[in-house]
Structure 1
């Protein structure tokens, strides 16, 4: 519909196959955007795309992507721009977490996490900036509470999110004068399958209503994506009793 706030705009969401990424795709489609879905699981992405088309009558594009692979990421951005003609919003959401201590983490585990959480964000941002500059677009990073405070039980994950936050704000200073908005959204615990591959997921650990839902984070991302003149620099999202024990 013409009065949808993102009507005529194209959004690319990484890590779009589940959790915050899937919820964000729904929020952006609801607001009128054409949504490109990037993740490794093509079958699941197709299911998400079908849901978006059915529920929101959205134009979608499934682009299987490994954010750890530079060529894969650059190819994804090129495909999106070729298919939709422009890129207005990039949501850097793909990430993974491990809970090992520094001395227990194997080198290959460390490298996988950093390649996903750091390198993948860099590749996508680098590829997207020229197109976002053309559209005066919005660049949204999914950070973390762990990127703001010490995180004794998973310091490597926390360090990767500190990097994301620092990188995002530095990019903000670099491209803001070119009309590109940059936002960091920092959730704390979100009830998703995040971390399931390495232990108990947040969806298993928390009951509904105990912590933030992915849809709440998605609303913050959509809010940032809808800004046309201003930058929403940073949004923190956490349960209301988060600091009750401090």
Structure 2
């Protein structure tokens, strides 16, 4: 056990140094005038992504379900320097809405340079109760709509040598209790878009795919679920959003925030018993 722990600690130090030395840096000027579609942009990480693009003078289309909130975000994007900021309300569980959103963005912007897929459906933080209907619904929102929008936007991204950015989660690499339906959707995303990365590379496509793995982020919705239940630290949505943008702009195939989520994912493969122990003991749960 001690040897395993020493190996884990050594790996953490090496990985931290590697991240600091090799992480690409963002040239903000490269985003000026960029045509961007951001999903799940009314609150949380998606809202912060929109603001970062706005500060770089990009042209932005944002989408989420609540129109009145989207209007407020779009207005703030314009005040921050966006060349254009428009919105479209959509429900990603509706089979036609993902296509309509992409069509709207293509019409308003004349094409796409970045498609940032960030939206998620609401899911309880609890032991799975066998609710298959909720799991099917969540797969529609968190997975099927992603691949539907990616396919719809692919031609435009090919023409612009653009980037597809998929916001995933550490829970898509390392299973955790209380989130079985959610974690299944993130595993599906990682598998599908990981395979698509290979296929595009083999076809010598102009499109890059960046899969961004996030740890616990301090959005209101996330903190409401886990407060008092887990000791896992949460990290700022604004920083997470910036890392997502950097990953797409620098065409990284995979990125992690915070940096040690990379180690957590790798440790799950190297030392599954140790990792599972720490996962379970990080939650307050009494049967």
CA RMSD of aligned residues (A): 2.3
Q: 1:181 aligns with which of 208, 215, 235?
A: 208
Q: 2:64 aligns with which of 39, 50, 53?
A: 39
Three-state SS of the structure 1 residue aligned to 2:29 is coil
Q: Show the counterpart of 1:213.
A: 236
Cα 1:205–1:235, aligned 2, differ >3 Å: closer, same or farther? Answer: farther
Cα 1:195–1:240, aligned 2, differ >3 Å: closer, same or farther? Answer: closer
Deviation of the 1:239 alpha carbon: 7.4
Whole-angstrom distance in 2 between the partners of 1:240 and 1:166: 21
Question: How does the TM-score come out when normalised to structure 1?
Answer: 0.86
Q: Show the counterpart of 2:23.
A: none
Given that 1:67 and 1:123 are in contact with CA atoms closer than 8 Å, whether structure 2 keeps it comes out as no
Matched, 1:10 2:8: no
Whole-angstrom distance in 2 between the partners of 1:188 and 1:164: 16
Whole-angstrom distance in 1 between the partners of 2:217 and 2:259: 9
Whole-angstrom distance in 1 between the partners of 2:246 and 2:106: 23
Deviation of the 1:205 alpha carbon: 5.7
Whole-angstrom distance in 2 between the partners of 1:164 and 1:194: 21
Q: 1:95-244 alignment to 2 at 5 Å?
A: 95-96=120-121, 97-102=123-128, 104-176=129-201, 177-195=204-222, 200-201=224-225, 210-227=233-250, 231-238=251-258
Whole-angstrom distance in 2 between the partners of 1:142 and 1:149: 15
Deviation of the 1:79 alpha carbon: 1.3
Whole-angstrom distance in 2 between the partners of 1:183 and 1:172: 9
Given that 1:70 and 1:123 are in contact with CA atoms closer than 8 Å, whether structure 2 keeps it comes out as no
Question: How does the TM-score come out when normalised to structure 2?
Answer: 0.75
Matched, 1:30 2:55: yes
Given that 1:20 and 1:214 are in contact with CA atoms closer than 8 Å, whether structure 2 keeps it comes out as yes
Three-state SS of the structure 2 residue aligned to 1:117 is helix
Deviation of the 1:184 alpha carbon: 0.8
Q: Deviation per CA, 1:182-236: give whole Å up to 9, x if none.
A: 011111110002357xxx345x569xxx521111111111112323xxx301111
Whole-angstrom distance in 2 between the partners of 1:90 and 1:74: 13
Whole-angstrom distance in 2 between the partners of 1:128 and 1:172: 15
Structure number with greater Rg is 2
Three-state SS of the structure 1 residue aligned to 2:96 is helix
Whole-angstrom distance in 2 between the partners of 1:218 and 1:23: 6
Deviation of the 1:37 alpha carbon: 0.4
Given that 1:211 and 1:239 are in contact with CA atoms closer than 8 Å, whether structure 2 keeps it comes out as no
Three-state SS of the structure 1 residue aligned to 2:42 is coil
Structure 2 residue ranges without an equivalent (≥5): 1-27, 265-274, 279-287
Cα 1:57–1:89, aligned 2, differ >3 Å: closer, same or farther? Answer: closer
